[in-house]
Structure 1
């Protein structure tokens, strides 16, 4: 089997590439080559920006595939562009959607035919629009498609928490726990969903490739287990051998402080999104959860430790978390000092942001400063 991957170095796509290689699938990958750490050496690497249409066409001229998987489609426009470029090159076009398409205001176990959409979250609206566009385009052009709907996934660079730091900066959550700083919860951390380690997601997705039963169908590619956000935090704390400090903030208050991420909370992370994987198992009978949450989080932390904690601390997330906690406590007339907050009120100053960016770039490119940071972190956490 020969597969074309668009992307290939993200959280989901890296795992899918690796699983394809493990299954002896011939993988071609279009990628800009900026995240060298995550490029599998056994792929046919096509270094190119996928948005350079003419260059892409030149590089893939004469090639045909059994399946194409594009991990870089986030909007209807992205999808239309991708379909125009790649859909006629293979027997199966795979679109990575999301279980976010479901109307999570309905509290149920979601199957592939459940009601859509969650209008509070633009991501839900956008993915649903993409699915409709895909179905219409493929029907008109006689193309086989498969829609893959992942739930909440995590891997080497992501800890699966609801409102999280920038990808690659998830050690920020660890440092908050190590330093007894509070992490924000909402609805007492009780909202539940499928939380799946990416290696398991990859087994399900690759299992759908080349299967005629998967043509022109949608699948929830999610693990067997449902976890709450509180269970995620407690598991993370257990792995670290520490206790986690939380502060529960009303979701409406928290959402107003999140700006562009407001819908992500109200329409996504503050709702239950528990999905069935029965349809997937009918096509991929061997699929099951193989990595528990505790084991998966251990893998994530080990990866960060072995790779210089990747990008370090997401100072925007860190300071914004402290700001929101402080503002909420003030609103209920409670003292912030009891929560060990180190809140810098002028963090949004352009001058301070410029300084932080300069410092972070200097840190990333200076091995001596990196060494000092790691020594300081080790001393502080022992």
Structure 2
């Protein structure tokens, strides 16, 4: 099976790329040639999907599956429809679970949960992308499958304030500094290791019955935010010096957190993975957070350049703490 990944060397996509090769797929990666990740066994096509003049090599091929890991706007989708109409048997769009109804009217999320998020442009644009693809599927039969990851980690830390691709929270835990946990820390959340995500995702490649469908792929492990931070600290051999601050207050003091917090992580979310398990009966997430975060921390600590401490974000964390303490 001949598969194209547009991207394919990021936090979520790298394990999927590696697993696709292991499964015997003829995998091609389209990127600008600047990635520091080498996927052994994959072919490379050098080009920038945003620059049509660099895609002459890409246009020579036809595909069984095309996956765009880096499409974020309806304009990206219009370009892909033009590029791949009649050129692929399946097109997979990487959307986001943050597209689901915000705020939720029911905490258990299935793929039929309404899509609505007007608090975060990232999520709203992903919804518009999905709508355009569904329109094309209905009108022309363009063979789409939509995948909605949720807080998937491998080379990033799935922490809310100063985490993800930033090392700020980890550094603060190591130094015994205060860290912010939104709300009282008891809301429920799911984090998924990218190796587990890959098991479900690669199973969808070339799956004819998945055409026209949307799937989320997450772990079934449910943790409170207090537990997520506690487990992270324990993996570092430290205790988490937690300060609980209401999400509304955090975003009032530093509005830049509104999208990733109020529009995504502020309330409890439970994912029903029945659909992906129905289409792929063998799928099961097996990496608990207590194991997965140790892998991530080991990777981050292998090279100092991976420990990205954002001075601007650090200042925002201190500003929130100062404002909170000023309340008395």
Range into which the TM-score falls when normalised by the shorter chain: over 0.9
Structure 2: distance between partners of 1:185 and 1:60? 45
CA distance in 2, matches of 1:62, 1:277: 38
Q: 1:221 and 1:4 mapped to 2: Cα distance? A: 20
Deviations 1:277-319 (A, max 9, x none): 1000011111111211011000001111222351432222222
Deviation for aligned residue 1:80? 1.6
* CA–CA distance in structure 2, aligned partners of residues 273 and 321 of structure 1: 25
SS class of match (1:164): coil
Match of 1:120 in 2: 119
2:293 maps to 297
Instruction: Name the counterpart of 1:60.
Output: 58
- Pick from 99, 102, 116 the counterpart of residue 101 of structure 1: 99
Shift of 1:257: 2.7
How far apart, CA to CA, are the structure 2 residues paired with 1:265 and 1:86? 35
Give the secondary-structure state (helix, strand or coil) at the position aligned to 1:3: strand
Task: State whether structure 2 residue 276 is matched by structure 1 residue 280.
Answer: yes
Map 1:112-191 onto structure 2 (within 5 A). Answer: 112-155=111-154, 157-165=155-163, 167=165, 169-170=166-167, 172-191=168-187
Deviations 1:168-221 (A, max 9, x none): x33x22210111111111221222222100011111111011111111001111
**1:339-358 matched pairs, under 5 angstroms:** none
Q: Which residue of 1 aligns with 2:79?
A: 81
User: Which residue is equivalent to 1:233?
Assistant: 229
User: Which residue is 2:42 aligned to?
Assistant: 43
**Cα deviations across residues 110-164 of structure 1 (Å, max 9, x unaligned)?**
1111122133333332221111111112322221110101111111x21111233
Q: Distance in 1 between matches of 2:305 and 2:170?
A: 11
**Structure 2 SS opposite 1:29:** strand
Distance of 1:259 and 1:84 partners within structure 2? 37
The verdict on how the C-alpha distance between 1:133 and 1:164 changes in structure 2, with shifts beyond 3 A counting, is farther
Q: Do residues 210 (structure 1) and 206 (structure 2) align?
A: yes
Q: For residue 55 of structure 1, report the CA deviation from its aligned partner.
A: 2.0
- Counterpart of 1:61 in 2: which secondary structure? helix
Q: 4+ residue runs of structure 1 moved beyond 6 angstroms? A: none
Cα distance between partner residues in 2 of 1:13 and 1:43: 13
Structure 1 stretch displaced more, 133-142 or 243-252: 133-142
| 5+ residue gaps, structure 1 | 334-382
SS of residue paired to 2:260:
helix
TM-score using structure 1 length: 0.82
* Alpha-carbon distance between aligned partners in 1 of 2:188 and 2:117, rounded to the nearest angstrom: 16
Cα distance between partner residues in 2 of 1:296 and 1:88: 40
Question: More helix by proportion, 1 or 2?
Answer: 1
CA distance in 1, matches of 2:32, 2:187: 37
**Distance between the aligned counterparts of 1:320 and 1:327, measured in 2?**
10
Aligned counterpart, 1:198: 194
Change in 2 beyond 3 A, CA 1:87/1:14: farther
Q: CA deviation at 1:166?
A: 6.0
Paired residue secondary structure (1:265)? coil
**Equivalents in 2 of 1:207, 1:325: separation in Å?**
45
Matches of 1:149 and 1:312, distance apart in 2: 27
State whether structure 2 residue 267 is matched by structure 1 residue 271.
Answer: yes
Using a 3 Å threshold, how does the CA distance of structure 1 residues 194 and 293 change in structure 2: closer, same or farther?
A: same
Check whether the contact 1:104–1:273 (CA below 8 A) recurs between aligned residues: no
Residue 12, structure 1, aligned to residue 16, structure 2 = no
Stretch deviating more after TM superposition (157-166 or 246-255)? 157-166
1:3 and 2:17 aligned = no
How far 1:226 moved relative to its partner?
1.7
Q: Which runs of 5+ in 2 are unaligned?
A: none
How much does 1:256 deviate? 1.9
